[in-house]
Amino acid sequence: MVELLAPAGNFEKLKMALHYGADAVYAGGLKFSLRERSDNFTREEFSDAVKYTHLLGKKIYVAVNIFAHNHDLEEMPEYIKFLRDSGVDALIFSDPGVLEISREIAPQMQVHLSTQASTTNYRAVEFWKKQGVSRIILARELAYSEIREIVSRSGIEIEMFVHGAQCMAYSGRCLISNYLVDRGANQGDCAQSCRWNYSLVEEKRPREFHPVEEDSRGTYFFNSKDLALIESLPQVLDTGVHSIKIEGRVKTIHYVSTVVRAYREAIDLYYEGKERNFEKQRFLQEILKVSHRDYSTGFFFGNPGSQGQSTESSRPNKGMAFLGRIENVNCDNQALIDIRGKFSIGDTIEVMRQKLDHDFLFQISRIKDEKGKEIEFTKPNTKVWVQFDKPVGENDILRMHEVMSVQDAVN
In terms of DSSP H, where are the helices of 87-143?
96-105, 122-130
pLDDT class for 410, splitting at 50, 70, 90? very low
pLDDT score, position 407: 41
- CA atoms in the 13 A half-sphere facing the CB of 215: 16
Q: What is the mean pLDDT of residues 112-139?
A: 96
Q: Are 91 and 60 in contact (CB under 8 A)?
A: no
Q: What is the mean pLDDT of residues 141-150?
A: 96
Residue 35 makes CB contacts below 8 A (sequence gap 6+) with 9, 28, 63, 188, 249, 250
Q: Does domain 322-400 have CATH number 3.30.360.10?
A: no
Higher pLDDT, 194 or 173: 194
Q: How far apart are CA 375 and CA 383, in angstroms?
A: 12
Q: Is the pLDDT of residue 303 over 90?
A: no
Q: Is the pLDDT of residue 186 over 80?
A: no
Parse the chain into domains and list their residue ranges: 3-172+223-308, 322-400
pLDDT score, position 307: 56
Q: Are 295 and 228 in contact (CB under 8 A)?
A: yes
Least confident segment among 29-38, 265-274, 278-287, 330-339 = 29-38
Portion of the chain with pLDDT greater than 70, in percent: 80
Computed over every residue of the chain, the mean pLDDT equals 86
pLDDT score, position 226: 86
Q: Are 390 and 332 in contact (CB under 8 A)?
A: no
- Express each pLDDT in 240-265 by its tens digit: 999 999 998 889 999 999 999 999 99
Q: Is the pLDDT of residue 362 over 60?
A: yes
- Express each pLDDT in 36-75 by its tens digit: 555 678 999 999 999 999 999 999 999 998 888 899 899 9
Tell me the CATH number for domain 3-172+223-308.
3.20.20.70
Higher pLDDT, 278 or 1: 1
- Residue 341 Rama label (left phi>0; alpha psi -120 to 50; beta): beta
Helix 144-152 crosses helix 122-130 at what angle (to 10 degrees)? Answer: 40
The widest CA-to-CA distance across the chain, in whole angstroms, is: 73
- Express each pLDDT in 198-234 by its tens digit: 666 767 777 776 555 544 444 455 567 889 999 999 9
Portion of the chain with pLDDT greater than 90, in percent: 64
